[in-house]
Amino acid sequence: MTEAQDAWDTLLEAGFLHAVRDAHEATTRIVLGSLSRSAGFKERSFGYTSFDVLESQLDKAFGLDGDSGGGPLAGRVVRDNLNGSPGWRLGNYRILLKRHEFGAVDAIRWDKSSPTKQAVSRQEFAEDPQLALDLGVAPAPAGPVTLVVAHSATDAPIETELFIGRPRYNADAGPPWHWRRPITAETLGPDPRQVTERTMPLWSDDDDVVPLRLRARADGTAAEAAR
């Protein structure tokens, strides 16, 4: 079994990926409902706010915020930050976050990201070993396999993108992923955290309806919004 399939199966069967998707949708609703370009907020404002809110929503989804239960994932998912970068761990897989420009998940330049993201992208990958370039960046310490959840959203129109994958150090201007998969309702299927299919909408009756149109990817040029 490939690493991609093992990681996907492990995180999917536990409901981890469903929790990530729910947290991202909640984040999109909260951020886009709170910030508006007409009020003066810019793309950078959305980027930083989304990153912070998604961190909080993931803690809530995993029962790590000291307030919510976390459901069946409580006690199975732990915080596992890396050099101050927010991270969560289930089994042998640690997940970090990366916000990207919408439509440009394949244009991420890890060699221009933070030292932590550079180190993560240089993890040894047995299925496609790459040459280690001596750029003075220490590799990630031995331990869990660190994957990245890449997330993005637009407000006009409202669309979201969410992926999980193994980053590839691409100082050679090559592809930024050894592998990546979209996290959508179609790829996830039934939620294992629930006995029955969810029937309630994500929004409460008190909220304005914020329709989300999921898109696996789109073409475009990237400029990273979060490092």
Q: Is residue 48 part of a domain?
A: yes
Q: Is residue 63 part of a domain?
A: yes
pLDDT tens digits, one per residue of 18-35? 999 999 999 999 988 887
Q: Is residue 67 part of a domain?
A: yes
Q: How many residues does the chain have?
A: 227
Q: How many CB atoms lie within 10 A of CB 150?
A: 24
Q: Is residue 201 part of a domain?
A: no
pLDDT tens digits, one per residue of 68-97? 766 788 889 999 999 999 999 999 999 999
Q: Is residue 146 part of a domain?
A: yes
- Phi, psi (deg, nearest 5) at residue 126: -60, -30
pTM over 0.85: no
Q: Is residue 204 part of a domain?
A: no
Q: Is residue 179 part of a domain?
A: yes
Strands (E), 56-195: 78-79, 87-90, 93-99, 145-155, 158-167, 177-182
124: domain range? Answer: 3-131+140-188
Total domain count, the chain: 1
pLDDT tens digits, one per residue of 107-138? 999 999 999 999 999 998 877 655 444 545 55
Q: Is residue 196 part of a domain?
A: no
